[in-house]
Structure 1
Amino acid sequence: MASDTRPRSPIRPWHVQVVVLIVVVVAVFFNVKVVSIADATAASPDAFDPASFAVENYETEIVPQIEKEAVPLATLLTDLAGGADEADFGNSSGTASSYSFPVTFSGVAGTPAGGVVPIAVDGVPADVTVQLQVGPALNGTALRDVTGTISFDQFTNQLEYQKVGTELNNQVKATVLDSLDVASLAGKTVTVTGAYTRVNPALVSVVPVKLEVSP
């Protein structure tokens, strides 16, 4: 029987590279572990939690400072209209950002609509609208910015910084607004302490940290 004398194909370098690549891919596949978001969070105990930050700081830091520094709204608006420096009464989140102010006022509530209640406040110019934010959505970051004690530098990124503002608003909903009968406010006198951001001088939209309702 004649022997097979056909020349064998030589092993080329790229053959070896392909085999090595296949071995690596197979090894990686069998060593991959799928981790859920919950497991990843649990594995990172130091991960920042905006909700916990808000709970820890709202009652102990934010509310006491607002109550201590709150300026009568009519007085504040008169001073600002007269050219007073905003920095003398409030704080901002940055050099190009609007100022947030701690304020207090009493007035007669109008008809609730769209998550706000208009308030007629004595001494406030007729061309300025005062409204109380009652939710369910509370807009803005006045509570985060008004004290000047919370800055972007404390957080890893803009998302964390923004979520802190949202979670502080959630504390207002849980502690101030949850038991409020919004539909019954029209015609009643409300006394409010809270904060607002002066984006538009003709609009005062207040997030309350303290709210009392009288007949």
Structure 2
Amino acid sequence: MLNNKPIWPILAATLGISLTACKILPTPSGDSGSSTAFNPDKMVEEIWVAKVVPYLQRKAGPFAEVHALAKTDPASAGAKYGNPNKQANSPWTFAVRVEGKIIAANTASRAATMDIDVDGDGKADARVQIGPAMRGTALRDSLDFIQFNDFTNQIDFAQFGKAFNAYADKAVLSKLPREALEGRTAKVLGAYTLESGQDLPLVAPAEAEIGPKR
């Protein structure tokens, strides 16, 4: 009681004001069967064979050739081997073919890699990711038919980039041998991003094959 008056009407009025001042937003559905739900894994799976791999096969150049040009003239290398439609402030990403001898491999980490000598001098020229965890979004960023403005927000765009890595692992990398890799040959089709401070260019594969020792 307040001044001999029931307090319930006052509380109800207060609650009514609070509720009308709040906007209750619907929770996005996680149902992958919904036609409106954002499903990056399904999107990547649908374009992988039809668009992604054929694009990289057309665009890719030999790693040594691409990287030599990228270090001296990134814009020219980007026009020929990269994505000219990239965001202006983004680094160049190039489609490449890496072929050579595996001289080192790290398979103890989930972010496993193998170092490839492409010119036969006994030194590693490129580091190829073999999963299951992969860093970066080079596969997404190498494609000129994928644009940031096609997505609702930065989060969706980032998830789409991760979906490429997950699909590459499922379709390609998980099938590769993991034992006694050093000394064997490797052929890879993929992409890498030109970044400063890299020990070796880090290639994300869309196709990969491990051959015999040579």
Under TM normalisation by the shorter chain, which class is it?
A: 0.7 to 0.9
Match of 2:30 in 1: 41
Q: 1:117 aligns with which of 99, 114, 117?
A: 114
Match of 2:92 in 1: 99
Match of 2:161 in 1: 165
SS in 1 for 2:105: coil
Residues 63 and 19 of structure 1: is their aligned pair in 2 closer, same or farther, counting only changes over 3 Å?
same
Contact 1:112–1:183, Cα closer than 8 Å, also in 2: no
Q: 2:140 aligns with which of 141, 144, 149?
A: 144
Rg comparison, structure with higher value = 1
* CA distance in 2 between partners of 1:76 and 1:124 (Å): 18
TM-score by length of 2: 0.77
Q: 1:131 aligns with which of 104, 127, 132?
A: 127
Aligned residues: 194
Q: 1:58 aligns with which of 48, 53, 67?
A: 48
- In the TM superposition, residue 204 of structure 1 has moved relative to its aligned partner by 1.4
Contact 1:119–1:130, Cα closer than 8 Å, also in 2: yes
* CA distance in 1 between partners of 2:209 and 2:46 (Å): 24
- In the TM superposition, residue 183 of structure 1 has moved relative to its aligned partner by 2.1
SS in 1 for 2:201: strand
SS in 1 for 2:87: coil
Residues 21 and 124 of structure 1: is their aligned pair in 2 closer, same or farther, counting only changes over 3 Å?
farther
- Decide which moves more: 109-118 or 132-141: 109-118
Residues 21 and 101 of structure 1: is their aligned pair in 2 closer, same or farther, counting only changes over 3 Å?
same
- Note the residue ranges of structure 2 that are not aligned, 5 or more in a row: 20-25
Deviation string 1:6-39 (CA, Å, 9 cap, x unpaired) is xxx786xx968516438959xx9xxxxxx9x79x
